[in-house]
């Protein structure tokens, strides 16, 4: 068995969380005010998946990495400026609506359809990566649905690490209830891995990688397929922010005891 | 070279491109737009074939230090002649937050508090105006009956630089000829081996090292900054850019002595606001005589409101944020702003030397455009359109050279780029403005007279004076009178007792009322950092602010770098030296020119290097 992988990363995009974000409800349902104004970045789960994919590919000669992302073409283009220097990949863009309130089934269908027609993709080598809770408002649904549509039965969610073995199988460190981890062994590809935070730091920007990536990314963007996601009766009755209010202070050099005391006080006050 | 340094050089990668660009602002937008528009019209033109990758189009790369192209800081009003020429039929609705200029007004603001350090002449003017009552004064402001022609932005645009940059970049990237890379600071130019002040030659740029500690020493994941070698290096890294500064230093040209810090807020107005998009207000007189202000109205009830704190404001207590809070509460502004919500906030150093600070515009293998090339016109208070136009001029020059199969030598760039610039309205304006503001160095009234003279005579008349270096423009506390000294001592005590910044306490001691925070618009400086977009400091890079001679810092009483720091990233350290926390730095660059005790009396004791991160706010 060849030990190379074909890794497809489903990468959800969100507005840069460092921007001022303001929820709003418009004609098309809930959303973020002026979202088209705001720079787009990978959601944190998808970013973990994106960092893990080239890392795994580098250890297995002949592996390839595709990044599949759905969003307005302009936002995908913007995203590429921030990620394309970090790792080699091929982009599969899907020109679709913005916002995190689209129907997860419709999103999954669009993603699965795009993945199914990637030229040269060998399904027997396919590892479907993505963010654990991407594009589903924390529900953790989309990636599973994509996997099911592609007929992949082995699925892992909340993954923090995988260790490939010589026989093609791999060990998965997966988050489970109660703050614990579960270790599973998967016989091999194809499999779905929904990443939590992983263990890798954000890769350095490598200008040479960026320059090479862009030679294929820009033509791919120009040919991006447009999709309109059917709501299929999905309706939001109400949307609200968590009641918790942010109280931010910038304090340095606090001792561990002081931090612990503050945390206890905060928990007791809740 | 040490063995460690040799190892670094061995690991350093090199890449070749045709054109390497530093900084993505309006000037670079103009340059790249001109290049890509020409390429779109005739992509098969052999002039656009790459020399370093034969058979491919020109390899054009642009590196920007900010984390995102929309992270620039400025709300602007501009005549937009150059911008409109690049985009015939431009509809402002295409650009978020943009509007046609509809109305311009100029206000002289009286001091409703009585705390500003007004010269006697202004106090007399205030007295006279108040005598005339509502006939002349309304809401503690006197509106000039007309807007001087030189200030007019008729036919222009109000917009957000961040949104404008994002809009321009989207079109450039979609075109496919150029690549723009944010979050990639450029640390220095690469000079040709024989390069000196007489033989000016650049062969590319060096990107900042990644995977280093805050002092720049290699750490986990060390990756030496790549050398990007280019046939042409285009430098448009603004007022405090590392590459532009290195060029000026090496070639001993481009002395920058006049500066200002522009600090502004983007505010969402109340729903009953009557301010029309495209409204432009210019103000002067408050909170200090030296501080000019502005209010620009964007669509969707958003306004940019802010102040300029200039280097010629000799007082060391240049607490821009505190002054901004007093400014927005002036009655003529507050009646519109009260009840509004802070959306965004930011600050930026403006290089105000203009023509007088102009460096060599080109040399072998490089050209300079935009603010760092001395294009800002301080008479008209305009820089964006000028910067854009210098980029267009270089773009046209590069096209001429490519089509003529001529290389990017100093002579060829002088014949094409510099010739265009000298013959343009940018140059005419720069000459008219060259001495327009000199008078402010000898007094506010003299400054206003000099500006009016220059404006009304197109620069033929002005009040010229010798401009001191930026450090010498700061008047030491010890040179102030006894009363001021006493106030300073009281402020030191107050700062110590209350654990607050000294300069903030000094303003209170001088009679400025404490700010009554409302949590929406009047918020602490740290809250402004959090509410108005947030600051990010990438861990992989070195600190970009360094204090050279720490003994000098310890002996400094003015601490103007601390007073002027827009994000409170520079604070008083325990040992008397300033402490820098880049997690709060918005990269405004004000520390660079707010150092009262430069080692040689000319340049700063603070080094401002290339660094990633900064404020994330797309509405600036």
Q: Which helix (H) or strand (E) holds B580?
A: strand B578-580
Residues A105 and B87: their CA atoms lie apart, in Å, by 42
Tally of domains within chain A = 1
Per-residue pLDDT, A35: 85
Mean pLDDT of A237-261: 75
Domain for residue B17, yes or no? yes
Residues of chain B with pLDDT under 50: none
Residues of A with CB under 8 A from a CB of B: 16, 18-20, 34, 36-39, 74, 77-78, 80-82, 85, 201, 204-208, 210-211, 214, 218-219, 221-222, 248-250, 252
Per-residue pLDDT, A65: 97
Chain A residues near residue B211 by CB distance under 8 angstroms: 204
Q: Please tell me the total number of residues recorded for chain A in this structure.
A: 270
Output the six-digit token pair for B333. Answer: 């502004």
Q: Are residues B169 and B79 in the same domain?
A: yes
The domain of A56 spans 6-226
Q: Are residues B81 and B191 in the same domain?
A: yes
User: B346: domain CATH number?
Assistant: 3.30.9.90
Reference B180, options A217, A89, A71; nearest CA is A217
> Are B440 and B290 in contact, with CB atoms under 8 Å apart?
yes
pLDDT over threshold 50, residue A1: no
Is the minimum CB–CB distance between B163 and chain A shorter than 8 Å?
yes
Q: Who wins on pLDDT, A74 or A100?
A: A74
Domain for residue B182, yes or no? yes
Per-residue pLDDT, B569: 93
Question: Which residue from A18, A82, A214 is facing B536, i.e. has the nearest CB?
Answer: A18
Tally of domains within chain B = 3
Which of B 448-487 lie inside 8 A of A, CB atoms? none
Chain A residues near residue B531 by CB distance under 8 angstroms: 20
Domain for residue B498, yes or no? no
Residues B453 and B379: their CA atoms lie apart, in Å, by 11
Longest CA–CA span in chain B (Å) reads: 77
Output the six-digit token pair for B390. Answer: 């210098």
Domain for residue A268, yes or no? no
Decide: helix, strand or coil at residue B361.
coil
Is the minimum CB–CB distance between B15 and chain A shorter than 8 Å?
yes
Question: Which residue from B63, B170, B531 is facing A20, i.e. has the nearest CB?
Answer: B531
- The residue with tokens 């030491």 is B476
Output the six-digit token pair for A196. Answer: 């939590």
Beta bridge partners of B263: B307, B347
Chain A residues near residue B526 by CB distance under 8 angstroms: 249-250
Best B13, B618, B620 residue to mutate vs chain A (most A CBs within 10 Å): B618
Beta bridge partners of B571: B579
Residues A196 and A186: their CA atoms lie apart, in Å, by 18
Q: How many CB atoms lie within 10 A of CB A219?
A: 11
Residue % of chain A over a pLDDT of 70: 92
Q: Omega of the bond prior to B287 within 30 degrees of 0, cis?
A: yes
Going by the DSSP 8-state scheme, the letter that residue B380 receives in this structure is T
Which tens digits make up the pLDDT trace of A160-217?
A: 999 998 888 999 999 988 888 999 999 999 999 999 988 888 899 999 999 999 989 9
Which residues are CB-neighbours of B78 under 8 A, at least 6 positions away?
Answer: B153, B156, B157, B159, B382, B384, B385
Per-residue pLDDT, B601: 73
Best A33, A39, A76, A203 residue to mutate vs chain B (most B CBs within 10 Å): A39
Dihedral sign, CA of B63, B579, A249, A266?
positive
Domain for residue B500, yes or no? no
Best A16, A84, A201 residue to mutate vs chain B (most B CBs within 10 Å): A16
> Are A192 and A152 in contact, with CB atoms under 8 Å apart?
yes
> Are B206 and B186 in contact, with CB atoms under 8 Å apart?
yes
Mean pLDDT of A129-148: 81
Q: Are residues B350 and B262 in the same domain?
A: yes
Residues B220 and B483: their CA atoms lie apart, in Å, by 54
The domain of B147 spans 96-157+257-354
Per-residue pLDDT, A154: 96
Beta carbons of B211 and A204 less than 8 Å apart: yes
How close does chain A come to B99, measured CA to CA in Å?
16
Reference A146, options A128, A121, A122; nearest CA is A128
Out of B305, B337, B354, a domain closes at B354
Q: How many CB atoms lie within 10 A of CB B76?
A: 24
Chain B residues near residue A205 by CB distance under 8 angstroms: 181, 183-184, 210
Residue-averaged pLDDT of chain A? 88
State how far Cα A237 lies from the chain centre: 27
Per-residue pLDDT, A138: 59
Out of B467, B488, B512, a domain closes at B467
Q: Are residues B186 and B70 in the same domain?
A: yes
How close does chain A come to B356, measured CA to CA in Å?
36
């Amino acid at each position: 068995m060849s030990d190379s992988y074909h890794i497809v990363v489903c990468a959800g995009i969100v507005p840069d969380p460092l921007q001022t974000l303001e929820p709003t409800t418009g004609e098309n349902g809930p959303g973020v005010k002026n979202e088209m104004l705001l720079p787009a970045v990978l959601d944190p789960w998808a970013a973990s998946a994106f960092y893990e994919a080239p890392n795994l590919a580098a250890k297995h000669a002949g592996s390839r990495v595709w990044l599949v992302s759905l969003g307005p073409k302009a936002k995908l283009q913007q995203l590429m400026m921030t990620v394309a220097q970090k790792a080699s990949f091929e982009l599969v863009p899907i020109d679709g609506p913005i916002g995190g309130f689209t129907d997860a089934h419709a999103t999954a269908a669009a993603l699965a359809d795009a993945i199914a027609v990637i030229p040269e993709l060998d399904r027997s080598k396919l590892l479907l990566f993505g963010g654990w809770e991407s594009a589903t408002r924390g529900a953790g649904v989309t990636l599973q649905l994509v996997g099911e549509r592609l007929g992949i039965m082995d699925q892992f969610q909340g993954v923090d690490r995988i260790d490939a073995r010589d026989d093609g199988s791999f060990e998965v460190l997966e988050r489970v209830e109660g703050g614990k981890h579960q270790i599973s062994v998967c016989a091999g590809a194809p499999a779905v891995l929904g990443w939590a935070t992983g263990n890798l730091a954000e890769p350095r920007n490598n200008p040479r990688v960026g320059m090479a990536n862009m030679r294929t990314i820009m033509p791919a963007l120009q040919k991006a397929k447009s999709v309109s996601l059917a709501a299929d009766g999905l309706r939001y009755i109400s949307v609200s922010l968590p009641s918790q209010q942010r109280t931010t202070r910038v304090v340095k050099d606090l001792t561990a005891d002081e931090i612990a005391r503050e945390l206890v006080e905060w928990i007791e006050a809740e | 070279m040490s063995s460690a340094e040799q190892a670094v050089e061995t690991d350093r990668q090199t890449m070749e491109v045709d054109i390497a660009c530093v900084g993505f602002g309006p000037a670079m937008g103009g340059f790249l737009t001109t290049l890509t528009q020409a390429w779109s019209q005739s992509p098969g033109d052999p002039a656009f074939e790459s020399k370093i990758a034969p058979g491919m189009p020109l390899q054009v790369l642009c590196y920007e230090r900010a984390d995102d192209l929309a992270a620039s800081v400025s709300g602007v009003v501009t005549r937009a002649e150059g911008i409109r020429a690049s985009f015939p039929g431009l509809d402002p609705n295409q650009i978020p937050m943009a509007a046609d200029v509809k109305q311009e007004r100029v206000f002289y603001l009286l001091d409703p508090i009585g705390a500003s350090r007004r010269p006697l002449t202004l106090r007399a003017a205030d007295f006279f105006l108040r005598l005339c009552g509502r006939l002349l004064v309304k809401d503690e402001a006197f509106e000039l009956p007309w807007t001087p022609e030189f200030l007019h932005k008729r036919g222009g645009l109000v917009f957000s630089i961040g949104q404008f940059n994002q809009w321009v970049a989207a079109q450039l990237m979609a075109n496919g000829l150029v690549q723009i890379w944010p979050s990639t600071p450029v640390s220095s130019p690469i000079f040709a081996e024989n390069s000196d002040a007489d033989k000016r030659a650049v062969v590319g740029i060096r990107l900042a090292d990644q995977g280093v500690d805050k002092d720049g020493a290699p750490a986990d994941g060390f990756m030496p900054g790549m050398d990007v070698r280019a046939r042409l290096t285009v430098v448009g890294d603004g007022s405090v850019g590392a590459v532009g500064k290195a060029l000026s230093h090496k070639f001993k040209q481009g002395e920058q002595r006049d500066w200002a810090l522009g600090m502004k807020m983007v505010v969402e107005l109340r729903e009953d606001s009557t301010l029309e998009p495209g409204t432009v207000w210019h103000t002067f007189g408050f909170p200090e005589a030296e501080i000019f202000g502005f209010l620009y109205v964007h669509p969707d009830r958003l306004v940019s409101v802010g102040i300029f704190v200039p280097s010629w404001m000799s007082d060391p207590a240049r607490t821009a944020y505190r002054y901004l809070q007093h400014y927005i509460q002036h009655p003529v502004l507050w009646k519109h702003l009260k009840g509004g919500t802070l959306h965004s906030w930011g600050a930026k150093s403006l290089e105000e030397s203009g023509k007088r600070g102009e460096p060599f515009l080109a040399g072998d293998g490089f050209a300079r455009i935009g603010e760092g090339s001395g294009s800002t016109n301080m008479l008209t208070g305009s820089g964006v359109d000028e910067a854009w136009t210098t980029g267009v001029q270089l773009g046209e020059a590069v096209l001429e050279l490519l089509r003529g199969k001529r290389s990017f030598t100093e002579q060829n760039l002088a014949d094409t780029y510099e010739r265009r610039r000298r013959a343009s309205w940018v140059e005419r304006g720069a000459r008219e403005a060259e001495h327009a503001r000199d008078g402010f160095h000898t007094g506010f009234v003299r400054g206003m007279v000099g500006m009016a003279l220059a404006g009304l005579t197109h620069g033929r008349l002005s009040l010229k004076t010798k401009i001191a270096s930026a450090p010498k423009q700061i008047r030491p506390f010890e040179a102030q009178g006894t009363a001021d000294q006493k106030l300073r001592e009281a402020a030191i005590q107050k700062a110590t007792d209350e654990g607050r910044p000294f300069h903030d306490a000094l303003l209170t001691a001088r009679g400025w009322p404490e700010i009554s925070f409302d949590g929406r618009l009047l918020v602490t400086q740290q809250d402004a950092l959090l509410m108005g977009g947030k600051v990010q400091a990438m861990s992989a890079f070195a600190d970009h602010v360094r204090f050279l001679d720490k003994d000098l810092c310890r002996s400094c009483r003015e601490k103007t770098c601390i007073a002027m720091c827009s994000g409170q990233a520079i604070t008083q350290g325990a040992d008397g030296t300033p402490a820098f926390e880049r997690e709060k730095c918005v990269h405004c660059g004000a520390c660079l020119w707010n150092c009262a005790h430069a080692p040689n009396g000319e340049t700063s004791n603070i080094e401002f290097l290339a660094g990633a991160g900064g404020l994330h706010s797309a509405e600036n």
